Amino acid sequence: AQTVTQSQPEMSVQEAETVTLSCTYDTSENNYYLFWYKQPPSRQMILVIRQEAYKQQNATENRFSVNFQKAAKSFSLKISDSQLGDTAMYFCAFMNRNAGNMLTFGGGTRLMVKP
């Protein structure tokens, strides 16, 4: 079984600054994906970024990038030039490609972007 841990229940950042959200996971699998999802107050789950475990290059999507450290089983999310609309819950998630592609989520980090 996989576990996903987000050690920061809440974080805050000033608008336009950079913030990093932490995530660690535990698995014995080699074929997996990692994701960050954003959940704004509307409750909708929005995919922010994904990383395939077999890729060494860190994924980037505009202002969002990850630092994937496979040996350390660490998968942090960096948000650059934070915007007020980034205020949300952020969930790290693990997908085991050998077991039905089910998602296992971390407990979430509540991010507040302050003006």
Chain-centre distance for alpha carbon 69? 13
Binding of residue 9 to other proteins (CB under 8 A): no
Binding of residue 50 to other proteins (CB under 8 A): yes
Give the phi and the psi of residue 3 in degrees, each rounded to 5.
-130, 145
Q: Which is nearer to other proteins, 45 or 80 (CB)?
A: 45
Q: Which of 108, 109, 111, 113 binds other proteins (CB under 8 A)?
A: 108
For residue 104, which of 21, 40, 33 has the smallest C-alpha distance? 33
CB of 106 to other proteins, least distance (A): 7
Buried b (16+ CB within 10 A) or exposed e, 80-107: eebeeebbbbbbbbbbbeeeeeeebebe
CB of 111 to other proteins, least distance (A): 16
Q: Which of 22, 33, 58, 78 binds other proteins (CB under 8 A)?
A: 33
For residue 64, which of 42, 38, 39 has the smallest C-alpha distance? 38
Window 81-100: residues binding other proteins (CB under 8 A)? 91, 95, 100
Contacting residues toward other proteins, per CB under 8 A: 33, 35, 42-45, 47, 50, 91, 95, 100-108
